[in-house]
Amino acid sequence: MSIQIRPILTALRRHKAGTVLITLQIALTLAIVCNALFIIHARLASLSEVSGVDESSVFVIKNQWATEWPTAQVDAQVQADLLALRQLPAVRDASPANGYPLQGGGWDNFVTLTPEQTQPTTDSAVYTGDEHFIGTLGVKLVAGRNFRPDDVMVMGTQQAVTPPTVIVSKALADRLFPGGNALGKSFYAMGATPSTIIGIVDPLHRHGVSQWNKAYAGQSLIWPIRSADSRGLYYIVRAKPGQLAAAMREAPKALYAQSRLRIIDAKDGIQNYATIRHKVYDSDRGMAILMGIICVVLLAITAAGIVGLTSFWVGQRRKQIGVRRALGAKQRDILAYFLTENFLISTAGVTLGIVLAFAFNLWTVTRFALDRMSLAYVGVGVIVLLLLGQGAVLAPALRASRVSPVEATRSV
């Protein structure tokens, strides 16, 4: 069976408007669908970013002090609080902190290799905590050692403290010392004195998940600091397996028993990691859902449009189809005719669509610093649309193929 393309093209020339409309529709659909797929994929990928935290049993308490105490008094209260938390039956460990992974934004410092450097080597999220910090989060120590109690320094309100020891994430270690021998090396993180790497953890996510963090993904450092900031601090708490809910109930009671001059917000003062993760990726998840809905509805509407217009064409050409059938064309010839016709239009559409797709992507790249779309998405989009076109045209084409040769003799 040979398919004659020339007669199809000649016929299309008589239906310029319809042809142009379907081409345009397919082109626009492709442009939007593959960009949407790209956005969905990127957003879903960030939804499942690894934090390094034992998320099933860790929760965070945001503790604000009600009144301004001197540093020594704040520190005494923090130590008493930690002791109380660690003694709770449902609690495995607890640590003071200035923030936590996936918080949504927080403290970060420039990092340099020498003190006189004005241009930073890179940027790192900064966590502060005591010798329980790593164990509480459940972060894996892959080299070196944890902090010892005598490493831990106390930091008062808005004080710039630079401890001589530091634990870094593997991503930061590799970025600073690509040779892989970061242990024992030193760097500067906006301090006058260096910090020496005593341990490496992997992985440990930054506080933030926003676009500008991407360049520094996974780069974080932990300083052995117990915060005695008069404004407040975070307590990170790890529950014993299966006792998260109980620990979250006990913890604030234990803290209020220590002192009532504190504020733990009723709404978001205590959050487990399910909530934290859900919140921080709100807009990513929203975008993915929105794009998903748009994709599905768009494809449905485009398919419906093809069905509608092809049905109209079939209706218009019943007589010609009858003539062809009377002259010996088989049913499958008619079927092939409409499938080929659609394939030609779709091909023109996707060709134009590829250009539009990249144009749209370029706009998002220049305007919002999003990533460039890989060819794979366009490839998937093209295949989806070609199949969609063939699928949509099938029903009208089958109807056309069943046109009886007798039609040729009617109403002439």
Partner 1 sequence: MFAYYFQLGLRSLRRNPVLTLLMVMAIGFGVAASMITYSVFRAVSGNPIPDKSAQLFIPQIDGWGPQQNLKGEPAEAVSYIDAMALLRAHEAKRKTMLYQVLMSVMPGGDRELPIAVNGYAVGSDFFAMFEVPFRYGGRWSEQDDAARAADVVISGELNQKVFGGANSVGRTIDLGGHDYRVVGVTSHWNPRPRFYDLFSTDGFADEPDIYLPFTRAMDLKMYPSGRNSCRGQLSFTNWTDYTQSNCVWITPWVELDTPAEVASYRSFLTNYAIDQQHAGRFNWAPNVRLRDVVQWLDHEHVVPPESRISLVVALGFFLICLVNTIGLLLAKFMRRAGEIGVRRALGATRREIYAQYLIEAATVGLVGGVLGLLLTALGVSGVGMLFPPQIAQLAELDVSLVGLTLVVAIVATVLAAFYPAWRAAHVQPAWQLKSS
Among residues 8 and 28, whose Cβ is nearest to partner 1? 28
Shortest gap between Cβ of 249 and partner 1 (angstroms)? Answer: 17
366 binds partner 1 (CB under 8 A): no
CB under 8 A: which stretch of 124-132, 184-192, 217-225, 243-251 binds partner 1? 184-192
* Number of chain positions touching partner 1 (CB under 8 A): 66
79 binds partner 1 (CB under 8 A): no
371 binds partner 1 (CB under 8 A): no
Restricted to residues 83-142, the positions that interact with partner 1 (CB under 8 A) are 110, 115, 118-119
How would you classify the pairing of strands 141-144 and 195-201? antiparallel
Residues 6+ apart with CB under 8 A from 399: 311, 314
Q: Quick check: 58 and 205 in contact, CB under 8 A? A: no
Among residues 59 and 281, whose Cβ is nearest to partner 1? 281
Residue 48 region by backbone torsions, left for phi larger than 0, else alpha for psi between -120 and 50, else beta: alpha
Token pair belonging to 230: 């008069």
Among residues 24 and 394, whose Cβ is nearest to partner 1? 24
Burial of residue 38, with CB atoms counted within 10 A of its CB: 0-12 exposed, 13-18 middle, 19 or more buried: buried
286 binds partner 1 (CB under 8 A): yes
The candidate with the shortest Cα–Cα distance to 348, out of 386, 301, 393, is 386
Q: Quick check: 225 and 95 in contact, CB under 8 A? A: no
**Contact string (CB under 8 A) for partner 1, positions 213-232, x = contact:** ------------------xx
Among 24, 44, 47, 113, binds partner 1 (CB under 8 A): 24
Shortest gap between Cβ of 57 and partner 1 (angstroms)? Answer: 26
- 223 three-state secondary structure: strand
CB under 8 A: which stretch of 76-84, 136-144, 254-262, 400-408 binds partner 1? 254-262
Shortest gap between Cβ of 35 and partner 1 (angstroms)? Answer: 7
Among residues 171 and 216, whose Cβ is nearest to partner 1? 216
Q: Quick check: 140 and 52 in contact, CB under 8 A? A: yes
Residue 9 region by backbone torsions, left for phi larger than 0, else alpha for psi between -120 and 50, else beta: alpha
Q: How far apart are CA 16 and CA 165, in angstroms?
A: 74
Shortest gap between Cβ of 241 and partner 1 (angstroms)? Answer: 32
Among 6, 13, 14, 367, binds partner 1 (CB under 8 A): 367
Shortest gap between Cβ of 117 and partner 1 (angstroms)? Answer: 10
Q: Quick check: 154 and 98 in contact, CB under 8 A? A: no
| Peptide bond between residue 203 and the one before it cis (omega within 30 degrees of 0) | yes
Among 39, 102, 176, 393, binds partner 1 (CB under 8 A): 39
Amino acid at 115: P
11 binds partner 1 (CB under 8 A): no
Among residues 139 and 280, whose Cβ is nearest to partner 1? 280
- 185 three-state secondary structure: coil
Per-residue H/E/C for 108-170: EEEEECCCCCCCCCEEEEEEEECCCHHHHHCCCEEEECCCCHHHCEEECCCCCCCCCEEEEEH
**Contact string (CB under 8 A) for partner 1, positions 298-327, x = contact:** x--xx-xx--xx-xx--xx-----------
Shortest gap between Cβ of 371 and partner 1 (angstroms)? Answer: 13
Place of tokens 């905590």: 129
Please report, as ranges, the residues that interact with partner 1 according to CB under 8 A.
17-18, 21-22, 24-25, 28-29, 31-32, 35-36, 39, 64-68, 110, 115, 118-119, 156-160, 188, 190-192, 211, 231-232, 260-263, 265, 282-283, 286-287, 289-291, 294, 297-298, 301-302, 304-305, 308-309, 311-312, 315-316, 360, 363-364, 367-368, 370, 411
